[in-house]
């Protein structure tokens, strides 16, 4: 195998694919890229057996072939080379020599036959969606995914296709984020898929704010995204996601309306003196204001007071400040509404006027 390519043309795809390559591997070959040179194209594949990313670029291929090379070493070498240089690569035996100018770098390789092939994706539906709309669905909800929870089905994001709507939903058991997109994607039946955490983070990294269409192939055990020359495949979590609609509070008769920016900044300041373990803040709403109070074991205290519109007399309720801030960052409106039943019930946070996303935060006993 022998090819040459301009530095920037190679750096872009390998920097993108290296994200799926885990630093700690069970199989040595999983620390490698699969590089394939065919025709006038070079394709680069990375996988961790759960997610796979393949992208291809134009290159001058003098001799076709495929091999696997250490992923992070190749990325570091190419990144450190001067801009706009030409890079040559030659495979001789089990070594690949990468050269540029007077520099030569010889890398150990493993045979391409050792690289795990992704199971064939049995496609049930193919949909097309604008890139920025899909990115928005992920950004508004993915922060609420669980991380290494024993309830494995929470360590991912639910894609819920229902009633001409695509909803993305994430929960870690303490908070819930839902974002709805009213769009007819031509899905033949109601369908729920749970995409694992790593797949969601990689998807989000791949997507931009562009309005071009990307293709999503929905399979029984996989989801696949095709964007230009890049194909991303992720296994799905085989589990049943909780009945999230039942968690969204109904009949909330107490409403607090606040400016989002001022509320965010006040929470950030108060959180400095909150208990580092529980991150608790107490909200005391009465009259036309909300007090934010934080304490810690060193008997330090922070008190912030904000103007607010209330439709009730008073309430005192505790929350994890991180969960409140995450929800406020996801909401883009100038004002927000917190809807409550009482001090022991979960709180629904929405934009004012309402937008596509809704956020539920459980109260904290302080």
Say if residue 30 is in the same domain as residue 18.
Answer: yes
Question: Which one of 114, 131, 153 terminates a domain?
Answer: 114
| Overall domain count for the chain | 3
Same domain, 256 and 353: yes
| SS3 labels along 221-266 | CEEEEEECCEEEEEECCCCCCCCHHHCCCCCCCEEEEEEHHHHHHH
pLDDT for 119: 66
User: In this predicted structure, what is the pLDDT of residue 121?
Assistant: 74
Q: Are residues 257 and 351 in the same domain?
A: yes
Residue 366 domain-assigned?
no
Q: What is the CATH number of the domain that holds 157?
A: 3.10.150.10
With beta carbons less than 8 A apart as the criterion, state whether 310 and 256 touch. Answer: yes
* Residue 129, Cβ density class (10 Å: 0-12 exposed, 13-18 middle, ≥19 buried): middle
Domain interval for residue 105: 2-114
Residue 234 counted as domain residue: yes
In three-state secondary structure terms, 71 is helix
**Cis peptide leading into residue 353 (ω within 30°):** yes
Residues 323 and 281 sit within 8 Å (Cβ to Cβ)? no
Helix (H, G, I), strand (E, B) or coil at 202: helix
Q: Are residues 107 and 201 in the same domain?
A: no
135: helix, strand or coil: helix
Q: Which residue has the tokens 């929405």?
A: 350
Each residue's pLDDT, cut to its tens digit, for the chain (366 residues) gives 999 999 999 999 999 999 999 888 889 999 999 999 999 999 999 999 999 999 999 999 999 999 999 999 999 999 999 999 999 999 999 999 999 999 999 999 999 999 998 767 788 999 999 999 999 999 999 999 999 999 999 999 999 999 899 999 999 999 999 999 999 898 888 999 999 999 999 999 999 999 999 999 999 999 999 999 999 999 999 999 999 999 999 999 999 999 999 999 999 999 999 999 999 999 999 999 999 999 999 999 999 999 999 999 999 999 999 999 999 999 999 999 999 999 999 999 999 999 999 999 999 987
Contact 68, 114 (CB under 8 A): yes
Domain for residue 335, yes or no? yes
Residues 241 and 127 in one domain: yes
């Amino acid at each position: 195998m022998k090819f040459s390519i301009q530095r920037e043309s190679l750096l872009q795809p390998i920097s993108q694919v290296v994200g799926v390559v885990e630093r700690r591997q069970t199989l040595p070959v999983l620390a490698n890229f699969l590089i394939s040179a065919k025709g006038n194209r070079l394709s680069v594949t990375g996988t961790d057996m759960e997610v796979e990313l393949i992208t291809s670029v134009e290159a001058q291929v003098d001799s076709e072939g495929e091999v696997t090379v250490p992923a992070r070493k190749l990325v570091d070498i190419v990144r450190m080379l001067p801009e706009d240089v030409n890079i040559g690569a030659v495979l001789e035996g089990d070594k690949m020599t990468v050269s540029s100018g007077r520099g030569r770098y010889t890398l150990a390789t493993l045979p391409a036959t050792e690289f795990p092939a992704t199971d064939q994706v049995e496609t049930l539906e193919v949909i097309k969606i604008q890139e920025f709309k899909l990115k928005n669905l992920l950004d508004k909800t993915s922060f609420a995914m669980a991380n290494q929870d024993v309830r494995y089905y929470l360590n991912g994001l639910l894609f819920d296709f229902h009633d001409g709507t695509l909803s993305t939903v994430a929960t870690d058991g303490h908070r819930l984020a839902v974002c709805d997109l009213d769009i007819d994607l031509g899905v033949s039946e109601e369908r729920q898929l749970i995409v694992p955490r790593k797949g969601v983070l990689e998807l989000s990294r791949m997507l931009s704010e562009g309005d071009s269409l990307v293709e999503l192939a929905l399979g029984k055990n996989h989801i696949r995204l095709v964007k230009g020359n890049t194909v991303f495949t992720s296994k799905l979590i085989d589990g049943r996601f909780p009945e999230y609609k039942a968690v969204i509070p109904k009949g909330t008769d107490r409403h607090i309306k606040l400016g989002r920016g001022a509320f965010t900044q006040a929470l950030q300041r108060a959180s400095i003196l909150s208990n580092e373990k529980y991150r608790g803040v107490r909200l005391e709403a009465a009259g036309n204001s909300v007090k934010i109070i934080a304490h810690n074991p060193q008997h330090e205290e922070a008190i912030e007071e904000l103007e607010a519109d209330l439709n009730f007399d008073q309430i005192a309720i505790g929350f994890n400040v991180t969960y409140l801030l995450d929800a406020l960052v996801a909401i883009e409106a100038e004002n927000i509404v917190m809807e409550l039943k009482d001090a022991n019930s979960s709180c629904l946070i929405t934009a004012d006027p309402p937008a596509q996303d809704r956020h539920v935060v459980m109260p904290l006993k302080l």
